[in-house]
Amino acid sequence: MANVSTKKGTIGILTGGGDVPGLNPAIRAVTFRALREGYQVIGIRHGWGGAVGIIRDEKVDNSDNYQILTEEVVNRAGRTGGTFLHTSRTNPINVKKADVPAHLQGTYNAEKNDLTAEVIKNLDWLGIDYLIPIGGDDTLSFAVRLYKQGVRVIAIPKTMDNDVPGTDYCIGFSTCVSRTIELANRLRTTAGSHERFLVIEVFGRYAGFTAMLPTMAGAANRCVIPEYKFNIERLAELASADRARNPSKYSVVIVSEGAMFEGGEMVFESSTTDAYGHAKLGGIGDMVSAQLAVLSAKYNQGKTINVINQRLGYLVRGGEPDAIDSIVPMAYGNLALDLILDKIHGRLVVLKNGRYDNVPVDVVTSTKKKVNVDIYYNKERLRPNFSSFEMRPLFIMTSD
């Protein structure tokens, strides 16, 4: 590919999976530092979708697949939420026949297609020396595959669930927690006015960090999380007691979308799955709300307690980043450049026990990050444990 010649080489950057506040500050940090160190920066659009879709022909318009990044472009976006490079849940290992780019359909026409080889060819054609993918464990699992096939990868962890292994912090988590606390506090005025239960469903497929931290901060009385199957009768008893003690006669329960009833399984909106095999979760909050209403009379002198049921959904991932999700992405971007300048790759930049560091990128696929319920969750009280805070990191629960 005919690119402007650079002193040191070319860095590619992309964002995959769900959007979160903090992505644009990370892109900005990488670009500013890289340009000043003498590198060219190419932003790959639509996550791995852009990496798959590139047509290796200089005469073809590939502007929907990538763009050259400048200080002017990234500075304008750096204070905003979302990702100006756009994103997708494309999994190049598992591309459906209908989703194969038109120019590749003659070669790849199976029901499911592995386009990894095309991604590698496209990165070579762009002249990319180092690739910086920003994403969660799905996006970064493909980055691990590329690394094992020779691509120089430095990964940045992003997910508001905070469940990427190897790091205490993922971009987007702080803003998610802040938004959840803010919205819970707004909703509690209505719950108090009507003396109801307030049930709030939040994101969190396999890990309950997005329910645990707001509850620990006082946004809710109880929380139920994917790591521990809860007894709905016990939850009703606790929520009723919380309400009775409250002068305003209401109580709040936060429910992770991946939480499960004792003896039950996850609740899905439909049976269809994304490119990584995940069915869309949703509905556990509705079920908890219905059951609490049914059971409440048992703990309220025979009178049913009505329920306000709210799924926060995308409200917690939209909008501008908070302070932490402005500062950490800046640091992560610069950490990635530090590694590149030292000619180091195959790493994931991380925060561990309050200090910035890096670990082997394949930690993403070698383990899972979940709440350690034996340490952090009170199974009897269905809420976080409030003990052993000494020497804990900022958000209390570590990646171990």
- The catalytic site residues sit at 161
d(CA 329, CA 335): 10
Determine the 3-state secondary structure of 233 from DSSP. Answer: helix
d(CA 53, CA 158): 23
Backbone angles phi and psi of 74, in degrees to 5:
-75, -30
Helices (H), 297-323: none
Determine the 3-state secondary structure of 378 from DSSP. Answer: strand
Residue pair 283/267 in contact (Cβ under 8 Å)? The answer is yes
**76's tokens:** 């304008």
381: number of Cβ within 10 Å:
13
d(CA 10, CA 38): 9
Residue pair 256/214 in contact (Cβ under 8 Å)? The answer is no
Residue pair 291/297 in contact (Cβ under 8 Å)? The answer is no
Picking from 96, 94, 74, the residue whose alpha carbon sits closest to that of residue 85 is 74
List, in order, residues 6 or more apart from 57 with CB less than 8 Å away: none
> Dihedral angle at the C-alpha atoms of 206, 210, 215, 218, nearest 10 degrees?
180
d(CA 343, CA 358): 14
d(CA 365, CA 144): 8
